[in-house]
Amino acid sequence: MSTFVLAHFRTEAEALHYAISDDGYEWESLNDGEAILWSDVGAESIRDPFLIEDRDGTYHLLGTDGWWSENVVHATSEDLVEWSDPELVPVMGDVPGVRNTWAPECFYDREADVYRLVWSSTVDPNGEGDSEADTDALDHRIWTCSTPDFESFSAPSCLFDPGYNVIDACVVRHDGEYLMAFKDERGENTVDTDHKDVRLARAPVGGGPFADVTEPVTPAPVEGPTLFHNGEEWLMLYDHFIEGHYGASRSDDARHWEVCDSAMTFPEGLRHGDVLEVSDAVGEELREAF
């Protein structure tokens, strides 16, 4: 049996928070909704937190270091309770004109036998970064680098460029391929916008190319998709960031999706998170600790 941990942040607290569930449908906050970990480096922010367990059983946290940064936040834990001091990893540090590095996630690339980070960045075509850039002027693509050990990292490269603004990539293994959920960032931040929804793409290997982009599989406007299997079906959670609530869709095959918000119970205040599957023993330890 498994337990599911939803790492997320809150608008009023850009830090690591936990919600927990036994089935992926009924979620409850841990630690009375208070933060588990704060950052004191860079922008002193942990937005869009992501958790992964490596082959040695160490948990890694990745997060967005504020709006305008070439770095991602990284910390480690042996039990999801006690965390190392956050550090900054300059994944875009050698790229001229980078404006931002948003929503880092990670997956195990089987073919290359490495962990592959993915995130969203805008790179100024003139090679001049602008820390005061208007977010509406950003034009993101999905970038990647790899690491064997979360200590050394390869040079970054563009992983996914469908020809338009995209953010918030989440990659999972499905049917012998890599399935990417991403946000089509075109449109406006209004409830009646075109785009601002989630689409899917697939690749035969972790390094891409990702292709066969689908039509939207979620309502709009939403962002921050996270994909996981609860033992019976695929679930996708996402942030209705304009309307201030969380949403969800389900699928039997990760290809055909239907909204299932009405069956879900979420704590209030969740923002852009990621689901990690852990053992029931770990889940019980987290409930006892927080």
Ranges of each domain in the chain: 2-289
pLDDT digits (tens, 9 = 90+) for 172-217: 999 999 999 999 999 999 999 999 999 999 999 999 999 999 999 9
For residues 22 and 16, give the distance between their C-alpha atoms in angstroms, rounded to a whole number. Answer: 20
Assess whether pLDDT exceeds 80 at residue 44: yes
In this prediction, residue 124 carries a pLDDT of 85
pLDDT at 127 over 80: no
Percent pLDDT > 70 in the chain is 97
Q: Which CATH superfamily is domain 2-289 in?
A: Glycosyl hydrolase domain; family 43 (2.115.10.20)
pLDDT in tens, 249-287: 999 999 999 999 999 999 999 999 999 999 999 999 999
Categorize the per-residue pLDDT at 132 as very low, low, confident or very high, splitting at 50, 70 and 90. low
Mean of per-residue pLDDT scores for the chain: 96
ω before 221 within 30° of 0 (cis)? yes
